Chains A and B, each alone.
Chain A
Amino acid sequence: MDAIERIYQEQSRRVLATLIRLLGDFVLAEEAMQEAFTAALHQWPGEGVPDNPAAWLIRIGQRRGIDQIRRKQTARQHAHLLEQPDDTQETLDEQSIEDDQLRLLFTCCHPSLSPDARIALTLREMCGLTTEQVARALLQKPATLAQRIVRAKRKIRQDRIPYEVPEARALPERLPGVLRVIYLVFNEGYSRSDGEVIVDVSLSAEAIRLAESLVGQLPEGEVFGLLSLMLLQDSRRYARQDEHGDLVTLDEQNRTLWDGDNIRSGLVWLEQALARTPAGPYTLQASIAATHAQAGVAEDTDWARIVRLYEALYRQQPSPVIALNRAVATAMRDTPADGLRLLDELASEKAIHTYHFFHAARADLYRRNGNVEQARSAYERALALSAQGPEQRFLQRRLDELTGQS
């Protein structure tokens, strides 16, 4: 029956999220949901699809789940559920079902789970991907990923990781963790789309979808900021590599290939984010992306504004990577020599020396400053440190161009 198939696609994640709350157990909830859909398959063709299919499925799922608990005679553990099997009626309005999705997201992104497990759980339980799809997208073996998911669920059960949206006062502490998982998912998709690996799911699109559903439920500045940032970055997906899968830098990209729809929605969300001060790190990064998006040609880029935004970002997150970007932007606003001076200051940070972008940035500034020898050795350092195919080809190309010059 097509209607059931469609309802499964649209509602199964929401039904699951609520069943996890009602039954207090991931695995039990998954089975109960399966049974509810099986029941629908038997009953709906004769009786018709109920007015509120999700509520129907949740009610049946809860009943079946409790039956199962009884069967397994683990009633002692779950005694509290058996005492109140019929309280679902009042708790099943649309709002509470929406809230359950949010609870599930916070549980999947709980800080006591490993970051890898958070990504895997979020993709499987929130986005509804299969274990095999998640594995392919993350370039892992399905068995490894299956193990990670099983362990994470066991940890949730054993450590009694609460199934709840943190209270308002704990939210500032917990929300960044959730946003980080969403952004990691996005970046997995963004850096993987290198033309060498064919994946059947777009992690970037999944991350954007997650953030889109989150803005409605949790209208915080940084939620808007993250959504805006991802849309603006994603708008360049067709321009950031050429037909051979080679990297095209921002200044050389064909800007007519940028996705105008994504840019427009990115800018709208950014306005929402900026209305909620103070602007957090995602909002600042989105503002930087927006400044690029608003320049019709690379030469029109408002580098003074970008430098200011990186400075604001650095004050919130004083990391060498942000300092590096600030130096590059300064070089664009002023001269390559000014950028190089800032990079030299940064060279006292040990960690930055193993970061290939640091050497690539130096190489680029030396090149533009006419220091061919220094540029060459910096490109070679960068090349030795970079692993990814397209990145390496890009650096090699630059190195070859230099050799042609000297």
Chain B
Amino acid sequence: MKYVALVYYQESIINAMSEQEWHDLNQECVAGVERLTNQGHFLAGQALQPTDTATTVQVRDDEMLITDGPFAETKEQLAGFYMLDARDLNEALQLASRIPPARFGSIEVRAVRELPPRD
């Protein structure tokens, strides 16, 4: 089964980190991905630039609307995602609990939905 783990945290926590803390967190994430890859659980994933770089696009009445910033203001912000291959939800949650930001942010785990075949 494929699951996506969405990583959320308060960017203010990251901004308050020292250079060294930020470096260590990144290294920890790199090691984590390496481990998931070796175990065959890691399918894809990426960290994201902070939300102040976000641009949101919508189409209404054939008109493209562009707004600066994330689509919704939330307490925690989306910071990255993992696509995982796991036996079931419990295994996916177990893997997600090892994602370092789980310690200060939240990891939302969602099963993927396969789109129906093309008509």
Interface residues in chain A, defined as those with a beta carbon under 8 Å from any beta carbon in chain B: 27, 30-31, 34-35, 38, 41, 124, 130-133, 142-143, 145-146, 149-150
Q: How far is the CB of A283 from chain B (nearest CB, A)?
A: 36
Q: How far is the CB of B8 from chain A (nearest CB, A)?
A: 17
Chain A residues near B40 (CB-CB < 8 A)? 34, 38, 41
Chain A residues near B1 (CB-CB < 8 A)? 130, 132
Tell which of B38, B88, B89, B90 has the most Cβ of chain A within 10 Å. B90
**CB within 8 Å of A: which B74-119 residues:** 87-91, 93-94, 111
The number of inter-chain residue pairs (CB within 8 angstroms) is 37
Quick check: A131 and B39 within 8 Å, CB to CB? no
Quick check: A35 and B90 within 8 Å, CB to CB? no
Quick check: B91 and A143 within 8 Å, CB to CB? no
Q: Which residue of B lies closest to A34 (CB)?
A: B39
Given the interface contacts A35-B39, A38-B40, does A27 sit within 8 Å of B89 by beta carbon? no
Residue among A34, A38, A41, A124 making CB contact with B90, cutoff 8 Å: A124
Residue among B41, B88, B93, B94 making CB contact with A132, cutoff 8 Å: B88
> Which 4 residue pairs are nearest across A and B when measured between Cβ atoms?
A130-B88, A131-B89, A131-B88, A131-B90
Quick check: B94 and A38 within 8 Å, CB to CB? no
Q: Which residue of A lies closest to B40 (CB)?
A: A38
- List 5 contacting pairs A-B, 8 Å CB cutoff, sorted by A: A124-B90, A130-B87, A131-B88, A132-B1, A132-B111
Q: How far is the CB of A134 from chain B (nearest CB, A)?
A: 9
Residue among A30, A133, A142 making CB contact with B91, cutoff 8 Å: A30
| A146, B110: Cα distance in complex, Å | 13
Q: Which residue of A lies closest to B94 (CB)?
A: A27
| A316, B48: Cα distance in complex, Å | 66
Chain B residues near A142 (CB-CB < 8 A)? 89, 111
Q: Which residue of B lies closest to A146 (CB)?
A: B89
Chain B residues near A27 (CB-CB < 8 A)? 94
Chain B residues near A41 (CB-CB < 8 A)? 40
Interface residues in chain B, defined as those with a beta carbon under 8 Å from any beta carbon in chain A: 1, 38-41, 87-91, 93-94, 111
| A31, B98: Cα distance in complex, Å | 12
| A132, B90: Cα distance in complex, Å | 9
Q: Which residue of B lies closest to A27 (CB)?
A: B94
Given the interface contacts A130-B1, A132-B1, does A146 sit within 8 Å of B39 by beta carbon? no
Q: How far is the CB of A317 from chain B (nearest CB, A)?
A: 36
Residue among B39, B90, B111 making CB contact with A149, cutoff 8 Å: B90
Chain B residues near A131 (CB-CB < 8 A)? 88-90
Chain A residues near B38 (CB-CB < 8 A)? 38
Quick check: A38 and B93 within 8 Å, CB to CB? no
Chain B residues near A133 (CB-CB < 8 A)? 88
| A130, B86: Cα distance in complex, Å | 10
Given the interface contacts A38-B38, A41-B40, does A130 sit within 8 Å of B89 by beta carbon? yes
Q: Which residue of A lies closest to B98 (CB)?
A: A31
Chain A residues near B39 (CB-CB < 8 A)? 31, 34-35, 38
Q: How far is the CB of B13 from chain A (nearest CB, A)?
A: 24
Chain A residues near B91 (CB-CB < 8 A)? 30
Chain B residues near A130 (CB-CB < 8 A)? 1, 87-89
Chain A residues near B94 (CB-CB < 8 A)? 27, 30-31
Q: How far is the CB of B34 from chain A (nearest CB, A)?
A: 13
Tell which of A124, A131, A143, A149 has the most Cβ of chain B within 10 Å. A131
| A30, B88: Cα distance in complex, Å | 12
Quick check: B93 and A150 within 8 Å, CB to CB? yes
| A130, B88: Cα distance in complex, Å | 5
Q: How far is the CB of B67 from chain A (nearest CB, A)?
A: 32
Chain B residues near A35 (CB-CB < 8 A)? 39
Chain B residues near A146 (CB-CB < 8 A)? 89-90, 93
Q: How far is the CB of B118 from chain A (nearest CB, A)?
A: 25
| A31, B95: Cα distance in complex, Å | 9
Chain A residues near B41 (CB-CB < 8 A)? 34
Given the interface contacts A35-B39, A38-B38, does A150 sit within 8 Å of B90 by beta carbon? yes
Q: Which residue of B lies closest to A37 (CB)?
A: B40
